[in-house]
Structure 1
Amino acid sequence: MRFFLDVLLLLPLLLIFTLESLLKLFIPKKRKSVTGEIVLITGAGHGLGRLTAFEFAKLKCKLVLWDINKHGLEETADECKRLGSKAHAFVVDCSDREDIYSSAKKVKAEVGDVSILVNNAGVVYTSDLFATQDPQIEKTFEVNILAHFWTTKAFLPAMMKNNHGHIVTVASAAGHAGIPFLLAYCSSKFAAVGFHKALTEELAALKRTGVKTTCLCPNFINTGFIKNPSTSLGPLLEPEEVVNRLINGILTEQKMIFIPSSINFLTVLERILPERFLAVLKRKINVRFDAVIGYKVNEQ
């Protein structure tokens, strides 16, 4: 009972902070400068990682690029250099903890302390539980979430020492909603969202508020990783649009980025609407893509 009375006493603050948030919607937030920062991007050899590297190169950052694909990685590094940035390419397997740690040591020795870490590398398998092989499930978690722990443990200490830095978690809308035939992927992205939220709170508890955090949660992106995706929420997102939103979110220190923004509204509805209505709503959203189904119903 005492707890609920204490909450009631907070209602004036709720009103004040709500009004403050509404006002901020009409006042553009100043973008911070990242010139000269050392930015490490995992999965930089293609897709969002490559485009993110290009944008940071335009901002005159020093790039550290990680990917398992040597050819794609070198192409990204060459373009970053053409854009006027220093770029250091490292072939790294983000499913391998020891490779991450040894590569992190090389980065510190050869380049310096990373001040912006973009955990972007990811894998996805579109299949039901029975068609998803055990090694595929393990790799999904190794790349999509465990790698975030290893990279952050490697580079966060220097950020905390200086009380300056930024940890970026590339998650997904699938980290907020369960989707059939993406069981391993959704589970790993739920974990990534939880990682971001808990890390944010931990940094605050340790009084390291100069180390910022951002989590990206987009809908389907036109990168080819998922075949023939569609949803009534809107057309496929173009990678350039997502990266522009991500960069703006980092520079304005936005904690959670939903693309489209309607996903944020849906996550709120899921907590308050009746379960049967949610089932109808999900049918209306109509998420579809090509998937391998291993479960077979026995014909009578």
Structure 2
Amino acid sequence: MASNLKFTKELITFLGKAVIALLETLIFTFIPRPRKNVAGEIVLITGAGRGLGRLLALRFAHLGSVLVLWDVNKEGNEETCRMAREAGATRVYAYTCDCSQKEEIYRVAEQVKKEVGDVSILINNAGVVTGGDFLNCPDDLIEKSLDVNFKAHLWTYKCFLPAMIANDHGHLVCISSSAGLIGVNKLADYCASKFAAYGFAESVFIETIVQKLKGVKTTIVCPFFINTGMFEGCSTVRPFLLPILEPEYVVEKIVDAILKEKVYLYVPRFLYFAMVLKSVLPVKIALLLSDFMGVFNIMDGFVCKKKKH
């Protein structure tokens, strides 16, 4: 009897909270969510030497943030640093860091803490791609994909999350991919790394909820292929549903999601629908849909040049 009463109370509590959450979602569908102010926040961006990382740095420069730029390419990173200063950033710090090396991440992170301060917005953006049939992928490139696209997230969280918890203030941003939601032909190692990054970020997000760390936010980003040169040669057969995205558009969406403290961001919106279909359709029909959408041949024409974000 007591257990039934407890269950009833818990059910009523759940339904009440669910209704409130649903009403909140409906309200913010029509009324823009308030945006937080990131002026003065210390924003660390990995893979800042080009592509999305560079554009994110310039966007946060306009917003008055303190920038910490990491990239293995010193020349490209310093160019981003120069551009950020021209965009209005008053404090920009560029560090050469190979995100495939745990020891180097730890070393540079300590340097950042001493020279800049506690990172309050961490954007794990650095990425590499191999491309090709799995059995033909060299072992060293598979390991590099996992090290940069996934394991670097583990080590940067270890470095910067403790201060966020102590201050009950921070924002963890995981740049995953649509390839972290749906398997893609000729991208087995890349998909594995992006699925892992997504799962890791979501798990830590759940930990912050359980520990009642209301000041530590999470945003997980899953864009379709972006025209940064990383996937040069790839094409889409249904551009009206899954277009190759322009980096400026994606960065606008990412920054907007961070400022509104959204947990999940899929770009384009069709990906939300695709994930629902993947969950409910029989496997054979889901595979037919993937074939129809061009997922099986999207990598046709891709040539691996060991590109990085």
Same fold per superposition (TM over 0.5): yes
Q: Gapped runs of 5+ residues in structure 2?
A: 305-309
Deviation of the 1:22 alpha carbon: 2.2
Q: Which residue of 1 aligns with 2:307?
A: none
1:55 paired to 2:59: yes
1:179 paired to 2:187: no
Cα deviation 1:177-222 (Å, max 9, x = unaligned): 0111000000000001101110100111122120100011000100
Deviation of the 1:130 alpha carbon: 1.4
What code does the residue aligned with 2:111 have?
Answer: K
Counterpart selection for 1:269 from 274, 277, 280: 277
Is this contact kept in 1: 2:201–2:220, CA < 8 A?
yes
Q: Does the residue aligned with 1:98 lie in a helix, a strand or coil?
A: helix
Alpha-carbon distance in structure 1 between the residues aligned to 2:166 and 2:16? 37
Aligned pairs for 1:9-20 within 5 A: 10=14, 14-15=18-19, 17-20=21-24
More off after superposition, 33-42 vs 6-15: 6-15
Q: Gapped runs of 5+ residues in structure 1?
A: 294-300
Q: Does the residue aligned with 1:279 lie in a helix, a strand or coil?
A: helix
1:134 paired to 2:139: yes
Q: 1:16 to 1:103 in 2, by over 3 A?
A: closer
Aligned pairs for 1:157-168 within 5 A: 157-168=162-173
Alpha-carbon distance in structure 1 between the residues aligned to 2:291 and 2:80? 40
Q: 1:39 to 1:292 in 2, by over 3 A?
A: closer
Q: Which residue of 1 aligns with 2:222?
A: 217
Deviation of the 1:14 alpha carbon: 4.2
Q: Does the residue aligned with 2:156 lie in a helix, a strand or coil?
A: helix
1:282 paired to 2:276: no
Cα deviation 1:238-292 (Å, max 9, x = unaligned): 0000000000000000001000011011111111111121121111111312357
The percent identity for this pair of structures is: 48
Q: Which residue of 1 aligns with 2:69?
A: 65
Deviation of the 1:16 alpha carbon: 5.0
Deviation of the 1:230 alpha carbon: 2.2
TM-score, normalised to structure 2, is 0.90
Counterpart selection for 1:101 from 96, 103, 106: 106
Q: Does the residue aligned with 1:25 lie in a helix, a strand or coil?
A: helix
More off after superposition, 223-232 vs 236-245: 223-232
- Give the number of equivalent residue pairs: 290
